[in-house]
Amino acid sequence: MIKDPRITRFRKMLAQATNYEQWKAAALELDFLEGNAEWKEDFASDLYHYELIYDRLSNLKQYRQQNDFERLKRALREGLHHDLGNMGNPALYTRSRVGTKHLIEEYITQVCESLDYLCDHPVPGFPVYDKLQFFRDTLTSYGRPTLLLSGGASLGMFHFGVIKALWEKGLLPQVIAGSSIGAIIAGILGVHTDAEIPEMLVPESHNLKAWKWRGLLSAMRGTGLMDQDTLRRCLRENIGDYTFEEAYQRTGRSINISVSPVQAHQKARLLCGYTSPYLLVWSAALASAAVPGIFPPVTLMKKDLNGNSLPYMPRLKFVDGSVVSDLPIERLMHLYDVNFTIVSQTNPHVVPFLTDRGQDEKLSLTNLPSHLLKSEVQFHGQGVFDYLRKRVRPEILRQLSGQMYTIMAQRYSGDVTIAPNYSLRHFRRMLANPSPEYVREMILEGERATWPKISMIRSHARISKTLERCVRRLKQQNRRAAELKLVSGDTPARP
């Protein structure tokens, strides 16, 4: 079979794209040439319950056309479920580079338009306060997405590219979590408003001097290979002296930072506005980045009533969040009703073992040996370190074995996992201060890795984002209504 030369040309354009519009244009051409456009138009498939989606879509259209607000409201409230009819099946997003079945896209569009319609139009017997409660309840039951940023030292500059790609498409989640370098970037993002994100993505706007070697003698004394004061100055300059509560009030983003315990009888903690509202974000990021042996453990800092900084639980110290909880998915589900996880994974010991969800049907027998090898290494590694952490002496070896066990036993992927393709050049820069050119290079790598995932992320996140926007608009309407009521109540009626 003769290969169409246009396919080679568009694949080259795809690999060399410098923005999403270029990438999408090439991807759409490839979808057409490879027959994926017809696949998207044919809504029938055994990959999802297309009859259910079709019926739901027809009902929503009918209720809107008839202005039947009550039935529309009930249909949205009781029938809006995450992954309805398995329309989030990863296999639906691997056949085509852009988009999926048109039926799914039309259904999601209809849901979002119906939500906006209910939110913005006067509905008899449905005042603003009741609307606000309706949308809050619907958001709670439906859930929301979250973005989790892993560790990975300077390789974590990749996260900025993921953030940029999601933000440009209006898909950046409100809930952001991070550990180690991911905690630093989550902290930076969490104190910047949407209007400030373009400047945040300019490398020259940041202090990039985070690493300063102190040497092996310093590490042997327990003060780490790197100078922690240098990292502290870097974080305070890039994040500022915001608490978790102040950061949320400023940007509306919920920052979540993982830290790991040092002493016995401690548990890993997720620091955020719910659990530690007065804690300084830079302090949490410093602790989460304190890789054992490279940086010493950290005492967290908080603000008191007068705005002064002082130690938070001074008897306790914390280290790198990746050690115990690189991706605190379960905790986020409890705190924020998270139903969909986007993971930007840059840990060098994890990325080689990742496999893309939804690709199982493309696996061949030639991949079986490497798949088995990865599985065996992980399985036996967990067994060895689990045994050692329970039985080995002295104590330092037991603690080290425990840390290795938790590292190997953790989950490192999400519903969508975005990861770089590493080469030797990446590892050479891993423990070096990133230059602006390197940051720009990693941002572009992050964008290119994210663009193929946009369609799946949009299908999962678009309804949640619409609900969040509706809640914000209704809060403003409710506040204005309360202010007007107060003013009218204070003003004496004219005769």
Apex 117 CA angle, 116 and 123, nearest 5: 130
Cα 6 to Cα 12: distance, rounded to the nearest angstrom: 10
DSSP one-letter code for 205: G
Catalytic option among 150, 258, 320, 401: 320
Provide the 10 A C-beta neighbour count for residue 54.
16
Sign of the C-alpha dihedral computed for residues 313, 315, 321 and 324 taken in this order: negative
Nearest to 309 by CA among 367, 236, 359, 256: 236
Q: Is 180 a catalytic residue?
A: yes
Cα 103 to Cα 110: distance, rounded to the nearest angstrom: 10
DSSP letters, 44-71, are: --TTTTHHHHHHHHHHHHHHHHTT-HHH
Identity of the amino acid at 452: P
Strands 318-320 and 309-311: unpaired
Cα 406 to Cα 402: distance, rounded to the nearest angstrom: 6
Tokens read off for 145: 């997405």
> Are the beta carbons of 234 and 207 closer than 8 angstroms?
yes
Identity of the amino acid at 74: R
Identity of the amino acid at 204: E
Catalytic option among 96, 150, 180, 459: 180
Q: Is 276 a catalytic residue?
A: no
Angstrom CA distances, 60 to 43, 79, 245, stand at 18, 11, 39
User: Which residue stretches of 179-318 are H helix?
Assistant: 181-190, 197-200, 216-220, 228-239, 244-251, 281-288
**Phi and psi dihedrals of 433, rounded to 5?**
-65, 125
Give catalytic residue positions.
180, 320
